[in-house]
A and B are shown apart, each in its own frame.
Chain A
Amino acid sequence: MDFSFTEEQELLAENLVEFMDREYPESLIKECDEQKIFPVEANKKFYEAGFGAIGVPEELGGVPADMVTMCLVTSIVYRYSWAGCTYSPLSIMNAADKASPEIRTEMLEGLMSGEKRHSFGNTEPGAGSDAAGIKTSYKKVDGGYVINGHKIYNTYASCSDYNIITAKDPEIDDPYKAVTLFAIPNPTPGMTIVDLPTIGQWLEPTCETFLEDCFIPDKYLYGKEHGGWVQLMKHFEAERLLCAAMYLGQAETAFADLCAYANSRIQFGQPIGKFQLIQEKVCRDKIILESMRNMVFRTAWEYDQGKSIRIDANICKLLCTEGNWQICDDGIQILGGLGYCTDHRMQRLWRDARVGRIGAGSSEILTKTIAKDVLREAGQYGGGTRALGI
């Protein structure tokens, strides 16, 4: 087994860390968090330096990269801030696949320069984990579509250039065949977006979108009509894995901070890291962090080998969101009063970490799905340890 990165990956990581240290200093992220704004200039420089093109196919002007590299880049970027950078090669690939010829070039140029961004909304007041239970519907009219519905917890929608949403054709009963994707330009008459107050992830707003007789021309159909569900599933596992890499990056920062504090905070004449109850947390968090790293990069390697990551991508997401939460919470505990004060970033990491266990597949849904898939796989092998692969 070879767990090492290639020289190219190491060089890329070193350059990226140097860049992020320079362009995403903690002082900037702290200010953006306090003012609830996105670091536009730093994000622009990230794309100018060519990092945003990593993992994007060459024909789209990108630099092809394997999943291990994309996870490495993602985890490093998220060490510095939650969503302070729009790095998302899969968004670019989605746009290349689904955008109509009339808007494709404009969309890709905007995404590749980091100047434009899309939001995605499926969740509705009555459809969260039950993703197919959406009520938002559309009707084909002359020259376009009219959409009516209500989306909620729409990340970044109010600031996005396109709000990609799911809507059902009410004429079709099967919910999996009724869904169509639309890219609604922001603003569009009939679409109202409001920001929701949240406890974390303040660099990007969480929004609620109201669609009332919202007309959009044909060119904003995103992918094939009635093919929305299949299209959403295309990069689903890779997206889930990259999501896990984001929480891995955040956990790396929280862990580094809690170790630094355990070594420097003196109580009773010695660093608090000398006390066993602090050591217990440090030890537990190190085990969690290394498990997260191993799982994310092993799964990325499996993806690159063309193996199925259906179960492992879910395990990554569950492990990394729960693990990150544990590490950030231990971070607050170890830092004590300092961790509870907003002057230190640990509280921001803790606030930003919480939603990981809810969004993009809640821990409960993931647990249920993993268990179901694992048991099914074990059953296929008729018991014993053959399901382990060796």
Chain B
Amino acid sequence: MRIVVAVKILPDSKDLRAGNDGALDFSHARNVVSEYDLNAIEAAAQLAASQEGSTVKVLSVGPASIDESKVKKNILSRGVDELYFATNDALEHADARATAQALSLALQDVGGWDVVICGDGSDDFYAKQVDAQLAATLNVPCVNGATLLQAGDGCIVVERVLEDVVETVEVPLPAVISVQPSVAVPRTPSMKDILAAGKKPMHVAPLDVASEETVEWVECKVPEPTPRKKQICHVSDEGAIASFAASLKAAL
């Protein structure tokens, strides 16, 4: 099975700082793989391991700044065979629609594929839209919320945990599937995996795409800190619980 995992490279949220005006400072943030995508990569690696001859390729689209050697080695140390980065600075703040279009275009350079696996959402926007929009662009079926993937005959058997049942779906290939974080725990790459990663194929090329965004990026600011109101309800006072609940409701 030829598996492609679509991932997002973004600034590490742990490194973000807020300026005095509330604007986010990305200048000290190093790039990382969006955390939910690590589960998708692991699910793909496990799916590939279950069917001999399978390959796992990782694809990412974004600005030229995503092309960082350490990020690429990190991805390739996780059971991935090949990596493709398609870059265009117009994708700096790409929304789900623009990302899906860029991915569908970049997929042409990846070669043949049977399934594209996406993470549950990205660490920054968490819009959970790219999977469905990518499938629509590619005109293939899409299943989201997968908690288990199994290789079938010309299909993938997907389990999804719904409110009160576990649904099993047989998805004919090619298809786009997005996975829940519980689908697989990302592996801890060993030293051997890390050393081998640098020797695996990495393809980085500019992507000729006109970004068609439907969302306009205006500004991104940290919310103003709200001063504590220091309202104290003593449990021994009459009606304290009701007063506490009322205060909570009022605050919400």
Q: Cβ of B74 and Cβ of A49 under 8 Å apart?
A: no
Interface stretch, picked from B49-57, B131-139, B191-199, is B191-199
A15 / chain B contacts, CB cutoff of 8 Å: 188-189, 194
Q: How many residues of chain A have a CB within 8 Å of chain B? A: 16
Interface membership of A327, Cβ < 8 A: no
The secondary structure that dominates the B interface is helix
Query: Contact mask A1-28 → B, CB, 8 Å, 1/0?
Result: 0000001101110010011000000000
Q: Cβ of B198 and Cβ of A8 under 8 Å apart?
A: yes
CB closest chain-A residue, reference B198: A8
Q: Cβ of A51 and Cβ of B191 under 8 Å apart?
A: yes
Q: How many residues of chain B have a CB within 8 Å of chain A? A: 14
Q: Cβ of A63 and Cβ of B188 under 8 Å apart?
A: no
A63 / chain B contacts, CB cutoff of 8 Å: 190-192, 195
Minimum CB–CB distance for A16 against chain B, Å: 8
Minimum CB–CB distance for A353 against chain B, Å: 29
B190 / chain A contacts, CB cutoff of 8 Å: 49-51, 53, 63
Assembly CA distance A65 to B191 (angstroms): 9
* Number of A-B pairs, beta carbon distance below 8 Å: 41
Q: Cβ of B191 and Cβ of A7 under 8 Å apart?
A: no
CB closest chain-B residue, reference A73: B191
Assembly CA distance A314 to B1 (angstroms): 56
A69 / chain B contacts, CB cutoff of 8 Å: 191
CB closest chain-A residue, reference B192: A63
Assembly CA distance A69 to B192 (angstroms): 13
Q: Cβ of B191 and Cβ of A10 under 8 Å apart?
A: no
B73 / chain A contacts, CB cutoff of 8 Å: 7-8, 11
Interface membership of B77, Cβ < 8 A: yes
Minimum CB–CB distance for A63 against chain B, Å: 4
CB closest chain-A residue, reference B185: A22
CB closest chain-B residue, reference A19: B188
Q: Which of B173-200 contact A (CB under 8 A)?
A: 188-195, 198
Q: Cβ of A8 and Cβ of B188 under 8 Å apart?
A: no
Q: Cβ of A50 and Cβ of B191 under 8 Å apart?
A: yes
Interface membership of B69, Cβ < 8 A: yes
Interface membership of A54, Cβ < 8 A: yes
B189 / chain A contacts, CB cutoff of 8 Å: 11, 15
Interface membership of B70, Cβ < 8 A: yes
Assembly CA distance A49 to B189 (angstroms): 8
Q: Cβ of B70 and Cβ of A50 under 8 Å apart?
A: no
Q: Cβ of B74 and Cβ of A11 under 8 Å apart?
A: yes
Q: Cβ of A10 and Cβ of B188 under 8 Å apart?
A: no
Query: Contact mask A50-68 → B, CB, 8 Å, 1/0?
Result: 1101100000000101000
Assembly CA distance A331 to B11 (angstroms): 34
A50 / chain B contacts, CB cutoff of 8 Å: 190-193
B188 / chain A contacts, CB cutoff of 8 Å: 15, 18-19, 49
CB closest chain-B residue, reference A23: B188
B74 / chain A contacts, CB cutoff of 8 Å: 11
Q: Cβ of B195 and Cβ of A7 under 8 Å apart?
A: no
Q: Cβ of B191 and Cβ of A54 under 8 Å apart?
A: yes
A53 / chain B contacts, CB cutoff of 8 Å: 190-192
Q: Which of A7, A18, A51, A65 contacts B70 (CB 8 A)?
A: A7
Chain A residues near B (Cβ < 8 Å): 7-8, 10-12, 15, 18-19, 49-51, 53-54, 63, 65, 69
4 tightest A-B CB contacts, nearest first: A50-B190, A63-B191, A7-B70, A49-B188
Known contacts A11-B194, A15-B188, A63-B191; 4 additional CB pairs below 8 A are: A7-B69, A8-B73, A8-B195, A11-B189
A-B contacts, 5 of them at CB < 8 A, read A11-B74, A11-B77, A12-B194, A49-B190, A63-B191
